[in-house]
Amino acid sequence: MAAQNKDLAKGAFWAFTTQVVYIFVGLLGNIFLARLLIPAEIGLVGIAMFFVGISSVLVESGMGGAIVRKLDATNDDYSTMFIFNFAVSLVLAGAIFAFAPYVAALYESPNLKNILRVLSLCLIFNALTIVQSVKLTKLMQFRKMGFMKLLALSISTVIAVIIAYKGYGIWGLVIQQVATPFLLMTFYWTKVEGFNRLVFSKKSFKEMFSFGLFTTLSSLILTSFDNIYQLILGKNFTMAQTGYYYQSRKFQDVIENPSRFVFGGTIYAHLSKFQTNFDELKAQHYFITRLATIFIGFITCSVVLFSEEIIMLLYGLKWLPSAYYLKLLSVAGFFGTLELLHANFFRIFNQTHKQFYVELIKKAFQVITIFIGIYFKSYCGVRE
């Protein structure tokens, strides 16, 4: 067990460290861009990223998790996943391109059409990185993965800040979103081995799809509801209000994403090794849960107490209304991150349909609160 804990600690350390640095670089870029852009512009990107985020879940389709869990993954598995992911990305990117004018008309924002069309390229670039990402995760080579992700983000952030500073405004942020997966795709394909031959195996596809179906449906529901507030705010309130919310979400990601990356990647890969030894699995999970609760709880309390000071220091006075959302998102993020840790059991034992049912119950309550919020919006403490 000592050797196993050592491997876990090493993998978790590099996964968490590289992810923290990655998020920190993204935060620096976000700070510069936020000071160069206005809240309404950030709100437009937030609306566009809803459609990109939903499509990204469908592109991955949970197949990566199936291969990470599989103890004897073959070339056919990786090749089949690649073909399916790439084909779906082309279809969805085309759909976003075609429907972009209608979305722009719905929000009465002509710029949204071109923003959506450019951001649809993210789906194709991301699809071309899934095989390499899964291989690195399965081998727990998080140091190598993190370095390439960090390099891609750093370059794209510099480009984005320069574009925004030159007066192109929102396009700096849009280019950053597209350049990051493009550069990562380039690094992965030059530094990480993919698969030996291109083949589509019906047997492999059926096995991975059956595993990934409920995982994908769960992720689709989760991603939809996590990002639907941009759409609601953009339609029922001002675009500036949408920007305040989306900016607070971006900062919350700085806190939440490293933990989610570790729990959904490193911890999942580690715990999957004990799927045939339930007692050891429980012991490992209990140990990890205790540490996670203390660590994440401390960070959450700090953000809630000092949200106004954080927003003022990083983004300036014009972004102060974002602090209101940041408090709420921090508390929600605490419970959401711990939930992800426990949800690993569903994937480890191939019980993803149960995870899907849990998500359905949760979102049923969330739908009710959304309608209540819209109906009584003037009494919900929303600040214009």
Please name which of 153, 10, 124, 5 lies closest in space to residue 56, comparing C-alpha atoms.
Answer: 124
- Whole-angstrom distance, CA of residue 319 vs CA of residue 274: 47
- In the chain, alpha helices (H): 2-36, 39-60, 63-69, 75-106, 111-119, 121-127, 130-138, 142-163, 170-191, 202-236, 239-261, 268-272, 278-305, 307-315, 322-348, 352-375
Q: How far apart are CA 44 and CA 244, in angstroms?
A: 11
Using 70 as the pLDDT threshold, list the residues of the chain that sit under it. Answer: 1-12, 14-16, 261, 264-266, 377-384
Residue-wise pLDDT for 279-329, tens only, equals 787 887 788 888 888 888 898 899 999 999 999 998 988 999 999 899 999
Q: Encoding tokens for residue 173?
A: 């942020």
3-class state of residue 88 by DSSP: helix
pLDDT for residue 384: 44
**Per-residue pLDDT tens over the stretch 236-286:** 888 888 899 988 888 887 777 777 767 766 677 777 777 777 778 788 778
In angstroms, rounded to a whole number, what is the distance separating the alpha carbons of residues 113 and 300? Answer: 37
Q: Whole-prediction pTM value?
A: 0.76
The pLDDT assigned to 383 comes to 45
Place of tokens 């107490």: 305
Q: How many CA atoms lie within 13 A of 244 on its CB side?
A: 23
Q: Which amino acid is at 195?
A: F
Residue pair 209/189 in contact (Cβ under 8 Å)? The answer is: no
